């Protein structure tokens, strides 16, 4: 669309453009369509964005919300997050929550506990690439549920990104009314985020259920165990 005015007509074409027009005449409309579709596939494959956390470095990017204290919280549902926190407390991986503090605000211990919990959850989701293979061996049906959610998340988010670019081009070249397509792009992105959260929830719940064990729980990596009785 952006280069349309720079593409010569068959009568004006010369050089490479003339060769392409002759090639199109030889292979026919079906061949041209197949070639263009394959080219679009290659471009899409190179530009595709992975949306699910697969390593510890990418984990902070999957925050549900951002602040200086909570930027390590991975994108999981609140229910799965709470289940994992309880699981980590039972295994003495994180300290138990202390009683409600007065209106003066949360204590430094509570802030430290939240950071430790976020780091532990981040480490577990940071092993997604390995845990998905373990889940495939442990429970094929549950892996299919995870894989379906991953596919939906990546498809919806990548289409949203592409539609955002198309909307920008149409708005610039045609009419500002095309900006309303941003509603569709935003809706697809939100749906992709929901699918991403569902995929991460499967991994978290599989860990909680004991189907798979991340390295961060075996002492090989991750946050060391913290006795629940420590006061400092």
Whole-angstrom distance, CA of residue 108 vs CA of residue 230: 14
181 burial type by CB count under 10 A (0-12 exposed, 13-18 middle, 19+ buried): middle
How many residues does this entry show for the chain?
232
For residue 74, list its beta bridge partners. Answer: 63
3-class SS of residue 216:
helix
Whole-angstrom distance, CA of residue 86 vs CA of residue 208: 9
pLDDT at 38 over 80: yes
Least confident among 85-89, 146-150, 161-165: 85-89
215, 23, 47, 53: which is closest to 120 by C-alpha? 215
Buried/exposed 142-178: b ≥16 CB within 10 Å, e otherwise: bbebbeebbebbbbbbbbbbebbeebeebbeeeeeeb
196-219 confidence digits (pLDDT tens): 888 888 888 888 888 888 877 765
Instruction: Please count the CA atoms within 13 angstroms of the CA of 70 that sit on its side-chain side.
Output: 7
117, 106, 108: which is closest to 72 by C-alpha? 117
pTM over 0.85? The answer is no
Place of tokens 């985020």: 193
Least confident among 37-41, 98-102, 194-198: 98-102
111-128 confidence digits (pLDDT tens): 666 677 677 777 777 777
Contact of 93 with 225, CB cutoff 8 Å? yes
Whole-angstrom CA distances from 25 to 28, 33, 80, 201 are 5, 12, 58, 52
Q: Transcribe 82-143 into DSSP letters.
A: HHHHHHHHHTTSSPPPPPPP-TT---HHHHHHHHHHHHHHHHHHTTHHHHHHHHHHH-HHHH
């Amino acid at each position: 669309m952006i280069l349309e005015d720079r593409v010569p007509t068959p009568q004006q074409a010369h050089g490479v453009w003339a060769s392409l027009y002759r090639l199109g005449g030889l292979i026919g409309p079906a061949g041209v369509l197949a070639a263009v579709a394959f080219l679009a596939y290659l471009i899409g494959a190179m530009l595709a964005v992975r949306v699910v956390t697969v390593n510890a470095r990418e984990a902070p990017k999957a925050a549900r919300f951002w602040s200086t204290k909570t930027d390590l919280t991975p994108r999981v549902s609140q229910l799965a997050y709470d289940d994992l926190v309880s699981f980590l407390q039972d295994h003495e991986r994180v300290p138990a929550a202390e009683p409600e503090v007065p209106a003066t605000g949360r204590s430094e211990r509570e802030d430290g506990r939240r950071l430790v919990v976020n780091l532990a959850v981040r480490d577990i989701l940071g092993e997604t690439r390995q845990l998905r293979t373990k889940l495939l061996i442990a429970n094929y049906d549950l892996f299919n549920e995870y894989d379906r959610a991953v596919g939906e998340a990546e498809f919806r988010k990548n289409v949203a990104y592409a539609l955002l670019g198309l909307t920008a081009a149409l708005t610039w070249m045609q009419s500002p009314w095309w900006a309303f397509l941003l509603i569709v792009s935003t809706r697809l992105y939100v749906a992709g985020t929901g699918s991403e959260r569902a995929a991460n929830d499967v991994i978290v719940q599989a860990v909680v259920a004991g189907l798979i064990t991340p390295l961060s729980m075996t002492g090989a990596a991750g946050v060391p165990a913290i006795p629940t009785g420590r006061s400092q």
